[in-house]
Amino acid sequence: MNNDIEKVLFDQTQLDKRMDEMADELNQKYADKQPIIIPVLNGAMIFASDMIKRLNFKLTIDPIKASSYAGAESTGKVKITQDIKSDVKDQPVIFMEDIIDTGRTLQALSEVMKDRGAASVEVVAMLDKPTTRVVDFHADYYGFQAPDAFLVGYGLDYNGLYRNLPYVGILKRKIYA
Using one digit for the tens of pLDDT, what is the confidence trace for 86-118?
999 999 999 999 999 989 999 999 999 999 999
Q: For residue 68, is pLDDT > 80?
A: no
Residue 121's DSSP bridge partners are: 93
| pLDDT band at residue 73 under the 50/70/90 scheme | low
What is the percent of the chain where pLDDT is above 70?
Answer: 95
Could you tell me if residue 159 is inside a domain?
Answer: no
Could you tell me if residue 13 is inside a domain?
Answer: no
Could you tell me if residue 50 is inside a domain?
Answer: yes
Question: Which pTM value belongs to this model?
Answer: 0.93
What's the structural domain count of the chain? 1
Q: For residue 40, is pLDDT > 90?
A: yes
Could you tell me if residue 80 is inside a domain?
Answer: yes
Q: For residue 41, is pLDDT > 70?
A: yes
**Domain membership of residue 38 as a residue range:** 18-146
Active site residues: 101
CATH number at residue 84: 3.40.50.2020
Reduced 3-state DSSP string for 41-76: ECCCHHHHHHHHCCCCCCCEECCEEEEEEECCEEEE
